[in-house]
């Protein structure tokens, strides 16, 4: 892990996109001492009109201003096309995708990745000290810029290549997206019997806290680990939703195979 605390020169940034990641980055950069968002581009300024008194907004890609780094924070399938449309050469252009290879950016510019490994919701405040960045460049001279961007918003950062980042993104789907779906199922199950979901929240917190100090393998508990067939069958009978039953069976099988049950 890299973490710098040295004095830095001002970095000029142009943000491209108006989704959750772009909005959170803008708010974080705005607070930074040595980062200036000189322009914010989106194909429609409607999504960023509220920021027009804070920074220059733009909806014409040919009118992008000069900057030290251009951050493309848009959907993965649009990144390559937008990078091709950029009206300049030999500038540092980075994307924020977890799954797109660095070579997905057009080679007319210097290429990099500035991927925040975190879940983003537009209306939920985020502490960037808890947002690790995976950074990658093709030219060594560009590495200090991305390091400084992370440093300025107090984020830890790691040099991670495209293959490693894609694996991290896959792992993140398991620990975040799939886990959140399990929370939603638990919420639905508890709601059926008018049980307040808040009762489960301390358990959610403790489970997340435990893996900070213990491996997930050692942290595992529950009827599947114990091979408690009576409880497992009782749970399955309580589930009316067939999809929920299949998920329960699959996860039970996975736990038992992991622990040799």
Q: Which string of DSSP letters, residue by residue, matches 80-130?
A: HHHHHH-S-SS-EEEE--SSS-GGGS-TTSEEEEEEE-S---TTS---GGG
Same domain, 206 and 243: yes
Q: In this predicted model, what pLDDT tens digit does every residue of 197-252 receive, in sequence order?
A: 999 999 999 999 999 999 999 999 999 999 999 999 999 999 999 999 999 999 99
Percent of the chain, pLDDT > 70? 97
For 242, the token pair is: 């067939």
Domain-embedded: residue 232: yes
Chosen domain end from 160, 177, 204: 160
- With beta carbons less than 8 A apart as the criterion, state whether 93 and 146 touch: no
R_g of the chain, CA atoms, integer Å = 22
Domain-embedded: residue 249: yes
Same domain, 93 and 175: no
Same domain, 80 and 116: yes
Strand order from edge to edge, sheet including 133-137: 57-58, 35-41, 11-16, 69-72, 92-95, 110-116, 133-137, 157-159
Rounded to an integer, the average pLDDT of 178-196 is 97
Same domain, 84 and 186: no
Domain-embedded: residue 209: yes
Same domain, 146 and 223: no
Same domain, 126 and 174: no
Domain-embedded: residue 5: no
Same domain, 206 and 120: no
The closest of 188, 133, 205, 195 to 165, measured between CA atoms, is: 133
Q: What's the pTM value of the predicted model, to 2 decimals?
A: 0.86
Same domain, 110 and 225: no
Angstrom distances, CA of residue 36 to CA of 11, 33, 192: 6, 8, 50
Supply the range of the domain harboring residue 156: 11-160
Nearby residues of 210 by Cβ (< 8 Å), 6 or more positions away: 219
Chosen domain end from 160, 179, 197: 160
pLDDT at 35 over 90: yes
Same domain, 32 and 87: yes
Q: Tell me how far apart the alpha carbons of residues 255 and 47 are, in angstroms, rounded to a whole number.
A: 44
Q: Tell me how far apart the alpha carbons of residues 133 and 153 are, in angstroms, rounded to a whole number.
A: 11
Rounded to an integer, the average pLDDT of 180-205 is 97
Q: Tell me how far apart the alpha carbons of residues 218 and 150 are, in angstroms, rounded to a whole number.
A: 33
Beta bridge partners of residue 36, listed in sequence order: 12
**3-class DSSP string for 193-245:** CCCCHHHHHHHHHHHHHHCCCCCHHHHCCCHHHHCCHHHHHHHHHHCCCHHHH
Element (H, E) at 12: strand 11-16
Task: Give how many domains the chain has, as a whole number.
Answer: 2
CA angle 46, 52, 54 (to 5 degrees): 145
Same domain, 99 and 134: yes
Same domain, 136 and 240: no
Domain-embedded: residue 147: yes
Q: In this predicted model, what pLDDT tens digit does every residue of 87-122 receive, in sequence order?
A: 999 999 999 999 999 999 999 999 999 999 999 887
Domain-embedded: residue 181: yes
Same domain, 66 and 116: yes
């Amino acid at each position: 892990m890299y973490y710098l605390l040295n004095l830095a020169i001002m970095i000029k940034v142009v943000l491209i996109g108006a989704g959750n990641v772009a909005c959170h980055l803008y708010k974080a950069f705005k607070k930074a001492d040595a980062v200036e968002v000189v322009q914010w581009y989106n194909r429609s300024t409607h999504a960023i009109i509220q920021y027009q008194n804070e920074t220059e907004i733009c909806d014409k890609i040919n009118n992008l201003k000069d900057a030290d780094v251009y951050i493309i924070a848009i959907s993965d399938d649009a990144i390559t096309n937008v990078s091709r449309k950029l009206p300049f050469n030999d500038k540092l252009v980075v994307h924020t995708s977890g799954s797109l290879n660095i070579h997905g950016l057009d080679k007319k510019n210097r290429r990099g990745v500035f991927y925040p490994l975190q879940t983003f919701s537009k209306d939920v405040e985020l502490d960037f000290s808890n947002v690790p960045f995976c950074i990658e460049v093709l030219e060594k001279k560009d590495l200090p810029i991305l390091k400084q961007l992370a440093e300025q918003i107090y984020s830890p950062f790691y040099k991670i290549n495209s293959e490693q980042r894609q694996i991290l993104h896959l792992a993140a789907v398991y620990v975040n997206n799939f886990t959140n779906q399990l929370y939603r199922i638990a919420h639905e199950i508890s709601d059926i019997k008018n049980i307040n979901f808040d009762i489960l929240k301390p358990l959610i917190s403790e489970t997340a806290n435990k893996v900070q100090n213990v491996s997930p393998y050692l942290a595992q508990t529950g009827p599947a680990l114990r091979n408690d067939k009576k409880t497992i069958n009782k749970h399955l009978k309580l589930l009316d939703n067939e999809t929920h039953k299949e998920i329960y069976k699959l996860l039970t099988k996975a736990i038992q195979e992991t622990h040799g049950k």
